[in-house]
Amino acid sequence: MELSVYLGRMPIMNTKSEIFAYELLHRSTDSTHTVVDDNLKATARVLVNALNYIGLQSLTEYKPAFIKVDEKAIFDDLIFSISEKYFVLEILEGSLISSVLIERILELHKRGYRFALNHYTSNQDFILHFKAVFPFISYIKIDIRRDTREKISFMLEHIKALDAQCIAEKVEDMEDFEWAKEAGFDFFEGYYFSKPQIYIKEKIDPDSQTLLNLIYLLKKEASLEEIISIFNASPYLSVNLLKFIHIHHGNKDEKIASIEQGLVLLGRQKLSNWVELMIYAQGDDEYDVDNIASPLGKIAKSRAALMEELAHIISDISEPSLSISAYLVGILSLAEAIFQSSFKTLFMQMDLDPAISNALILKEGVLGDLLQLCIAAESNNFGEISPILNRLKISQKQLNKAMILGYQRASQT
């Protein structure tokens, strides 16, 4: 059973040796090489690792991310979990090109998706095979060590007529780089700049049954409340939902203060694409029920339930939505430990309401007080409990009752 996930990253440079983009690579170990038996599963695993575990902010700084796809991935609706704003779909040279695939590529191209072609050659069979795809290709990659430089120069002349930009692969030394620039390549990739950087994260995939339950609810068009209940029981899903929403709807004025608001903004179809992506990426892998996400997740759920109960007590003198935001603060409160990353780094990948992020990072505002009260109550720190109760105008009796109700609710999920 795999306890870690791996992801490779290679920079793609421009003529000034500045990073233009990154290629994201499937890895199953910490080796710089891997064997891929299932291209679609490899694509799904790369996406889950990039979106859920590491985040595009840390991984690519939102520069273009090249990701390999074949015809199966292009046809599969998991492709819609990919944001056209941040990703480039790199078509593998072994892909089967058909009339229906061309129609699919045209549809995606109209939606704003960008395509690259991997390992272009001057072979006539290759050119005839991909001829119908060329109008939709923005980048063409050429292995500069696969052919003579004379053949490569000839290929570049043909590619320039296609209005595509050229990426030189296997640039291994300064002489390669200087020649490729002189020959007319636009971008460059290879060990001269960097070997693949391998990212390793502890595996905390949600269990398959939770994902299947979520898909079932979506397929039967269940109520929003039923779908929210799945997220309320899983800090892992809640955090990654917020990150996924940011990828597709980030930098907008609307800030998220609840899971409900986030789900409405994302929409059921995009949510379904994302959940199916996670299911496919898991494949036959077993879920490690004893990993760190499980006990911490239980604590987060209990804390969220208690915060919501406490918010109900003071909601008469505060905003009506306080209890909803309080639950979200509780769910997110252990995200640093679960994801082994700081709140600051995580929140750069979300569009949270400032009241929520300030409560978690600075312990400010009413939500910050509620969070501190819950933490103090969990450890029976009476020295901290009393002054917070006074600030919130909550009695010890009310706190005790809220703790009982919160515990009962958390035990039922």
* Ranges in the chain annotated CATH 1.10.3210.10: 208-412
Taking only the tens place, the pLDDT of each residue in 127-148 is 899 999 999 999 999 999 988 8
pLDDT value of position 32:
55
pLDDT value of position 200:
84
- The CATH T-level fold of domain 4-201 is TIM Barrel (3.20.20)
* Amino acid identity at 368: G
pTM metric for this prediction: 0.80
Cβ atoms of residues 392 and 366 within 8 Å:
yes
Q: Which residues make beta-bridge pairs with 233?
A: none
Mean pLDDT of 52-74: 90
Task: Identify the CATH class of 208-412.
Answer: mainly alpha
Alpha-carbon distance 378 to 150, whole Å?
Answer: 72
Alpha-carbon distance 269 to 334, whole Å?
Answer: 29
* Ranges in the chain annotated CATH 3.20.20.450: 4-201
Model confidence at 64: pLDDT above 80: yes
Could you give the C-alpha distances from 145 to 25, 149, 173, 174, in angstroms and in order? 20, 8, 12, 14
pLDDT value of position 289:
37
Task: For residue 386, give every residue at least 6 positions away whose Cβ sits within 8 Å of its Cβ, in sequence order, or none.
Answer: none
pLDDT value of position 255:
87
Closest CA to 7 of 31, 35, 36, 37: 31
- Residue 205 is encoded by which pair of tokens? 């995939």
In 188-317, where does DSSP find H-type helix? 208-219, 224-232, 235-249, 259-266, 268-282, 293-314
pLDDT value of position 382:
86
Per-residue DSSP letter, 327? H
Taking only the tens place, the pLDDT of each residue in 255-289 is 899 999 999 999 999 999 999 888 888 765 544 43
Q: Kindly tell me the number of DSSP H helices and DSSP E strands found in the chain.
A: 20, 9
Half-sphere exposure of 399 (CA within 13 A, CB side): 20
Q: Which helix (H) or strand (E) holds 116?
A: strand 114-117
Model confidence at 291: pLDDT above 50: no
